[in-house]
């Protein structure tokens, strides 16, 4: 039988998804379900003077209404260990626990009614009067400071090696590049939603989340419950991109509303609220300075960044990591600072920090190549980092040079004429650009339970999530190989706190972390089964040695081929209904002795119409080193998704912010633009041969985030190549293109 790992298996949950059988958080049918609608603050800072719920309470269908100053006091126990997905400093919003308004969009009241329409109508009747305070709303006017989460450091927010400033002073060639990237918003098609039901003091939450166990822990702290008294269920997640990593205030609102109404309650966010109820990718401003020898070798890298955060939490992300890890360079200085605004707190969004930092680094490298008169790919090759110089560790695997080769070859890079503006097709300017992609590969401990049932099929369970990357499918493939069963004989279950613990489903860690545990649990199950058959007093395998029995093609088989038996029959002969095994897997010494990362090389062709400033991306080629590819079909799907995300970052996505009022002006999907099919040209994805069994036994490095990194700078560099001028702010919109001409 061929191994399933490496096969382009169709998504095992595909049919359920397209037929509607798959249930998302808001879709569970719960007896007696009531519906919640919330009221949010229209102002960015202030004190609630009056919150009058009486009219809302008298409206048709209303069961309960509560709000700030008129809600039960909740314990909000401090977490001893903050969740790794929470900001490094600050206090999360405590719903309805005080009269302070911290940002426009902050929930201040909730109404529960028999129908969603009645709830929404009643919410519109809530009378709210706020005395405004001075709001901090202007990024450029706010004072950058180190995050309070880094207050213990000697030089907070700064990391360095060598003497970057000195080396910049003596470098024969230098560039200094500024870039700004708009605040962006994750927009999964499935809105955030929670159903909360209390029964005998125990709480069940059906929630859209990338981490069921973190929802349980957080809500246990909010309500002062024991974790065992909470169950969180989340079998399907319709996209998240980081927006469902934290446990946001609306989950507590749903649970509180259900408690007060004494009914199961559903709270589903409207699209408008998705801009303020969860997080977002923070706006950033970055300056990269590079110094190089005249042959292109980097002598100095300086990377200084400022991102936005809220007034109540300091969210930071590692924008400067790429500056320290992507290229070989002895003298590196990086600094990360934040500005606090009256906004909701940002959060990780697909390749958090890294994709932003890669953009600054890779556009600076493009400018350096131009100044040196060097080919951009050659400049990257000559600066190839043989080790991770930031951690001073060897890479567990690295096939980046092969990515450059393969990408350049598939793209036809050699036909690029170096001179900007020199490639044309009629009135259109053609630009070719490229960039390196890099995203660290991490692993965390995970546990998995595997059970072989009487009918010879297996159920494999763990509390991970599948927000779209195909976790159901890839884990099924891993289990199938270890158990020697066809994938149809495996049922993989996830998204329930009753299952063995799994780490957060984010940061591209799921395959390496959970996949390794699936492998361990299925290996344990297989060994247990074979051992029992060998130690049985009778039967085809009784008395055999361990190396004389194997599981293959749905059978237990004697290695000499003399006998084989279906697993269902093996179980029956042993007089067992089922046999189970739970196992964990975690990173070992390799995590201290090696640095692990996924890599890529992205190539873009743009076509610019200079008359109207329109940029179209005709082609994107991505050659990626992601370690072993478990399923090339869903891996490609991940990558084209990431490429389209990068295209959106380059050309479309921006949360438009009213600096006078501190409000999002385009809080809808008509005005927050994402690429549609007509915006996307040809997408070419290749995985270079790679297998990282140092990093984990499956050899996979993870491939969500690496797909998007490098896409925006490849496009921006292509735009520069097309017109000979650089738009320094993303997205590269027609108005910014036209402003270049004057
Ligand atoms: Mo992602 S930001 O790994 O959910």
Query: What pLDDT, on the 0 to 100 scale, is given for residue 574?
Result: 87
Check whether residue 575 and residue 513 sit in a common domain: yes
What is the Å distance from ligand 1's center to 156 Cα?
25
The residue whose CB lies within 8 Å of the most ligand 1 atoms, and thus the one to mutate among 282, 704, 706, 709, is 704
Do 480 and 399 lie in one domain? The reply is no
Whether residue 741 is predicted with pLDDT greater than 80 in this model: the reply is no
Please give the distance, rounded to the nearest whole angstrom, from the Cα atom of residue 217 to the centre of ligand 1. 20
Question: Please, where are the H alpha helices in 190-248?
Answer: 212-223
Residues 616 and 578 in one domain: no
Q: Is residue 375 part of a domain?
A: yes
Residue 723: CATH number of its domain: 3.30.365.10
Tokens coding 404: 């450059």
Is residue 172 assigned to a domain?
A: no
pLDDT at 69: 87
Do 321 and 220 reside in the same domain of the chain? no
Task: Kindly report the protein residue whose alpha carbon is nearest to atom 4 of ligand 1.
Answer: 242
Are 235 and 117 part of one and the same domain? yes
567 and 625 both lie in a single domain: no
Distance CA 234, CA 206 (A): 6
CA distance 188 to 698: 29
Residue 106, CA distances (Å) to 15, 42, 556 in order:
38, 8, 59
Mean pLDDT computed over every residue of the chain? 97
Does some domain include residue 74? yes
Ligand 1 pocket residue status of 149, Cβ below 6 Å? no
CA–centroid distance, 509 to ligand 1, in Å, is: 9
The pLDDT score that the predictor gives to residue 80 is 86
- Rounded CA separation 242/543 (Å): 52
Percent of the chain with pLDDT over 90: 96
Residues 60-97 have pLDDT tens digits of 999 999 999 889 999 999 998 888 999 999 999 999 99
Of 352, 510, 513, best ligand 1 pocket probe by most atoms within 8 Å of the beta carbon: 352
Same domain membership, residue 551 and residue 528: yes
- Reported as a pLDDT band with limits 50, 70 and 90, residue 537 is confident
525 and 479 in a single domain? The answer is: yes
pLDDT at 6: 97
Query: Which atom of ligand 1 is closest in space to residue 245's alpha carbon?
Result: 4
Could you say which of 362, 370, 399, 705 is catalytic? 705
My answer on whether 567 and 627 are in the same domain is no
Domain C-terminal end among 569, 586, 603: 586
Is the backbone of residue 528 left (phi > 0), alpha (psi -120 to 50) or beta? alpha
Q: Does the Cβ of 245 fall within 6 Å of ligand 1?
A: yes
Whether 336 maps to a domain, the answer reads: yes
Instruction: Give the pLDDT of residue 740.
Output: 86
128 found inside a domain:
yes
Residues 226-265 pLDDT 10s: 999 999 999 999 999 999 999 999 999 999 999 999 999 9
Is the CB of 349 inside a 6 Å radius of any atom of ligand 1? yes
Does residue 574 sit in the same domain as residue 620? no
The predicted-structure confidence for 590-628, as pLDDT tens digits, reads as follows 999 999 999 999 999 999 999 999 999 999 999 999 999
440 Cα: distance to centroid of ligand 1 (angstroms): 13
**pLDDT score, position 64:** 98
pLDDT tens digits, residue range 12-68? Answer: 999 999 999 999 999 999 999 999 999 999 999 999 999 999 999 999 999 999 999
Instruction: Point out the ligand 1 atom lying closest to the alpha carbon of residue 508.
Output: 3
- Boundary residue ending a domain (586, 611, 641): 586
From the CA of 240, give the closest atom in ligand 1.
Answer: 4
CA-based diameter of the chain, in Å? 90
Spacing, Cα 100 to ligand 1 middle (Å):
31
Kindly tell me if the per-residue pLDDT of 673 is higher than 90: yes
> Tens digits of per-residue pLDDT, 643-672?
999 999 999 999 999 999 999 999 999 999
Whole-structure pTM value: 0.97
- Number of domains comprising the chain: 3
Question: Is 394 part of a structural domain of the chain?
Answer: yes
Provide the pLDDT for residue 742. Answer: 55
Q: Tell which of 558, 586, 614 closes a domain.
A: 586
Residue 555 tokens, joined: 């059978």
pLDDT of residue 622: 98
386 is catalytic: no
Is residue 454 within 8 Å of residue 497, measured between CB atoms? no
Query: Do 60 and 206 have their domain in common?
Result: yes
Q: Is there a domain that residue 151 lies in?
A: no
Helix axes 212-223, 249-261, angle to 10 degrees: 60
Q: Are residues 578 and 634 in the same domain?
A: no
What's the CATH code of the domain at 108? 3.90.1170.50
- Ligand 1 centroid–CA 633 distance in Å is 21
**Residue 508: predicted pLDDT:** 96
Residue 4 covered by a domain: no
- What would the mean pLDDT of 105-118 be, rounded to a whole number? 98
pLDDT exceeds cutoff 70 at 131 = yes
Domain that holds residue 641: 284-442+592-739
**Ligand 1 mutation pick, 350, 441, 514, max ligand atoms within 8 A of CB:** 350
Ligand 1: nearest atom to the Cα of 243: 4
Q: Which atom of ligand 1 is nearest to the CA of 351?
A: 2
């Amino acid at each position: 039988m061929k191994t399933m790992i490496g096969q382009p298996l169709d998504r095992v949950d595909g049919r359920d998804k397209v037929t509607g059988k798959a249930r998302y958080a808001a879709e569970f049918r719960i007896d007696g379900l009531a519906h919640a609608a919330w009221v949010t603050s229209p102002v960015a800072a202030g004190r609630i003077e009056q919150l009058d719920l009486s009219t809302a309470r008298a409206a048709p269908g209303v069961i309960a209404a509560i709000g700030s100053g008129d809600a039960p006091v909740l314990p909000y126990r401090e977490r001893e260990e903050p969740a790794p997905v929470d900001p490094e400093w600050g206090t999360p919003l405590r719903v309805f626990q005080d009269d302070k308004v911290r940002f426009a969009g902050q929930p201040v009241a909730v109404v529960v009614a028999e129908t969603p329409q009645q709830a929404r109508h009643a919410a519109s009747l809530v009378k709210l009067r706020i005395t405004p305070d001075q709001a901090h709303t202007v990024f450029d006017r706010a004072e950058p400071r180190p995050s309070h989460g880094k207050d213990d450091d000697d030089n907070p927010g700064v990391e360095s090696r060598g003497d970057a400033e000195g080396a910049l002073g003596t470098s024969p060639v230098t560039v200094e590049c500024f870039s700004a990237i708009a605040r962006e918003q994750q927009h999964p098609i499935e809105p955030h939603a929670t159903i909360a039901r209390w029964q005998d003091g125990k709480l069940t939450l059906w929630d859209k989340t990338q981490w069921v166990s973190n929802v349980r822990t957080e809500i246990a702290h909010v309500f002062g419950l024991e974790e065992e008294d909470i169950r969180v269920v989340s079998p399907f997640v319709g996209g998240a991109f980081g927006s469902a990593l934290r446990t946001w205030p609306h989950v507590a609102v749903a649970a509180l509303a259900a408690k007060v109404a004494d009914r199961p309650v559903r709270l589903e966010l409207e699209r408008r609220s998705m801009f303020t109820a969860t997080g977002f990718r923070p706006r950033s401003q970055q300056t990269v300075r590079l110094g190089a020898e005249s042959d292109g070798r980097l002598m100095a890298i300086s990377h200084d960044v400022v991102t936005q955060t809220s007034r109540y939490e300091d969210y930071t992300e590692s924008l400067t990591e790429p500056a320290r890890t992507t290229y070989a360079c002895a003298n590196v200085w990086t600094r990360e600072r934040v500005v606090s605004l009256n906004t909701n707190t940002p959060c990780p969004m697909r390749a958090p920090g890294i994709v932003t930092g890669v953009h600054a680094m890779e556009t600076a490298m493009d400018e350096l190549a131009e100044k040196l008169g060097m080919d951009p790919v050659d400049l990257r090759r000559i600066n190839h980092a043989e080790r991770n110089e930031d951690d001073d560790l060897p890479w567990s695997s690295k096939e980046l040079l092969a990515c450059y080769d393969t990408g350049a070859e598939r793209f036809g890079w050699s036909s690029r004429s170096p001179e900007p503006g020199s490639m044309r097709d009629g009135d259109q300017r053609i630009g070719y650009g490229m960039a390196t992609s890099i995203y660290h590969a991490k692993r965390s401990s995970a546990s998995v339970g595997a059970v072989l049932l009487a009918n010879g099929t297996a159920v494999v369970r763990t509390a991970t999530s599948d927000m779209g990357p195909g976790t159901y499918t890839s884990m099924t493939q891993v289990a199938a190989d270890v158990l020697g069963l066809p994938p149809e004989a495996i049922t993989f279950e996830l998204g329930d706190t009753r299952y063995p613990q799994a780490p957060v489903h984010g940061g591209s860690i799921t395959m390496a972390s959970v996949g390794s545990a699936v492998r361990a649990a299925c290996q344990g199950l297989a060994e247990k089964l074979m051992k029992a058959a060998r130690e049985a007093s009778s039967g085809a395998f009784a008395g055999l040695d361990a190396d004389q029995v194997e599981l293959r093609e749905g059978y237990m088989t004697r290695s000499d081929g003399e006998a084989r038996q279906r697993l269902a029959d093996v179980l029956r002969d042993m007089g067992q209904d089922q046999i189970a095994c739970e196992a964990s897997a975690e990173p070992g010494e390799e995590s201290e002795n090696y640095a692990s990362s996924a890599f890529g090389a992205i190539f873009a062709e743009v076509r610019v119409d200079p008359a109207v400033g329109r940029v179209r991306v005709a082609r994107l080629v991505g050659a990626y080193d992601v370690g072993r590819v478990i399923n090339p079909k869903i891996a490609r799907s991940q990558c084209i998704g990431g490429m389209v995300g990068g295209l959106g970052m380059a050309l479309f996505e921006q949360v438009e912010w009213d600096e006078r009022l501190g409000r999002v002006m385009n809080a809808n999907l008509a005005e927050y633009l994402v690429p549609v099919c007509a915006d996307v040209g040809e997408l070419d994805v290749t995985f270079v041969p790679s297998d990282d069994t140092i990093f984990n036994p499956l050899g996979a490095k993870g491939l969500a985030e690496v797909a998007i990194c490098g896409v925006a700078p490849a496009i921006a560099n292509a735009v520069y190549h097309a017109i000979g001028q650089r738009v320094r702010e993303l997205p590269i919109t027609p108005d910014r293109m036209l402003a270049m001409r004057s």
